[in-house]
Amino acid sequence: MILRLGVLMLLMLVGPVPAALAQAWPERPLRLLVPFAPGGVTDSIGRLSADVLAARLGQPVVVENRTGAGGAVAVEAVARSRADGYTLLTASASQMVMLPALARVPYDAARDFAPISIIGANPQVLAVSARLGIETLPAFIAHLRENPGRVAYASGGNGSSNHLAMALLLQRAGVEAVHVPYRGGAPAMQALLAGDVAAYFGNPSDIIPHQGGGAVRVLAVAGGARMAALPGVPTVEEQGFPGFRAETWNGIAAPAGTPPAAIERMAAILGAACAEAGFRQALERLGTVPVCSSPAEFRAAMERDGPQWAELVRVAGLRLD
């Protein structure tokens, strides 16, 4: 009887400890690594998310831009960090599912990370030079078919999301075009505006400011629905390509093994943010579709998108190593 009472008292003492620890987190500032330089969409989404988390967790969230190796430097650094809820990654599809399909990387996104939330999706947008006189995606495909190998398109570089989006469209349509890589989305867009290339399947933030300016015509959005910033532009799927998706996303992830209570708390905070008009409008100004997914939905997106890009890279022979 005395032994049983002693065990019961010990359990009573030990039992509350995990709950107390969970309630104490976070007790100090968090660190959020961004794999790109300041000023881009990924950086902007990371900073918006950091502000929301800081305000509702009661601790600063310090943003650190750590570039290199196509973003792999920051991703690896977070993967190797302590899984204590204090180190986070602004995760993008480029590093989590695209780069591993293109080259050897020192991490396994599915194994090494605990997804928290996809904050926004960035469907690629197809624009063509107004000089072509083309107004629909079917007409553009017909133009390519009539001029095999003679129509040039721009991208932000070999293996970029812009390059892969157009490669996927050409593959699905069974047509050819000439790839002209540039050093980023901005010079690719300038080439389209100047008429040096006929088309650019680019980031919304590159293309939307030039819509209606007379130099380019926006033909399609490669997401699951039309964009609020381009309500009159149909999706690729609507124009004869069922299931077509060519979109990146940006979200927040933590090292695998991070306490589930911390993951769920941050996901709930970010999910609530997407219900607020100001946060949604800030994302839409970046050309991003607000998502604020659950951790399970984030993992499902990685499982869905990884094989698609891997197969495209294999078929197109786009490996970088």
Please determine, looking at this structure, whether the domain spanning 29-121+248-316 carries the CATH number 3.40.50.880.
Answer: no
Q: Which residues of the chain form beta strands (DSSP E)?
A: 30-34, 61-65, 87-92, 113-123, 125-129, 152-155, 178-181, 199-202, 216-221, 247-255, 289-290
Q: Which residues make beta-bridge pairs with 113? A: 255
pLDDT at 164: 85
Quote the CA–CA distance of 90 and 132 in Å, as a whole number.
39
Closest CA to 152 of 174, 130, 128, 172: 128
Distance from the Cα of residue 232 to its chain's centroid: 24
72-118: pLDDT as tens digits? 899 999 999 999 999 999 999 988 998 888 888 999 999 999 999 99
Torsion from C-alpha of 138, 225, 162, 129, nearest 10 degrees: 40
Instruction: Residue 39: count other Cβ atoms within 10 Å of its Cβ.
Output: 9
Residue 320 has pLDDT above 80, yes or no: no
* SS3 per-residue string spanning 196-207: CCCEEEECHHHH
293-306: pLDDT as tens digits? 999 999 999 998 88
DSSP secondary structure, 220-255, as one string: EE-SSS--TTSTTSPBTGGGT-TT---EEEEEEEEE
Quote the CA–CA distance of 68 and 56 in Å, as a whole number.
31
Quote the CA–CA distance of 314 and 59 in Å, as a whole number.
44
Residue type, 194: A
Give residue 315's pLDDT band: very low, low, confident or very high (50, 70, 90): low
264-293: pLDDT as tens digits? 999 999 999 999 999 999 998 888 889 999
The CATH H-level superfamily of 125-239 is Periplasmic binding protein-like II (3.40.190.10)
Please, where in the chain does CATH 3.40.190.10 lie? 125-239
Residue type, 297: E
Structure tokens at 167: 């490669």
- H/E run at residue 22: helix 17-24
Burial class (CB in 10 A: 0-12, 13-18, 19+), 277: exposed
| Average pLDDT value for the chain | 88
Contact by Cβ (8 Å): 269, 56: yes
Sign of the torsion angle spanned by Cα atoms 96, 112, 292, 40: negative
The more confidently predicted of residues 108 and 224 is 108
Quote the CA–CA distance of 119 and 193 in Å, as a whole number.
31
Quote the CA–CA distance of 209 and 180 in Å, as a whole number.
22
The number of C-alpha atoms within 13 Å of 104 and in the hemisphere containing its C-beta is: 1
Please, where in the chain does CATH 3.40.190.150 lie? 29-121+248-316
Percent of the chain surpassing pLDDT 70: 91
Torsion from C-alpha of 104, 109, 113, 115, nearest 10 degrees: 150
Instruction: Residue 135: count other Cβ atoms within 10 Å of its Cβ.
Output: 12
Task: State pTM to two decimals.
Answer: 0.77
pLDDT at 143: 98
Residue 27 has pLDDT above 60, yes or no: yes
| Cβ within 8 Å of residue 194, ≥6 positions away | none
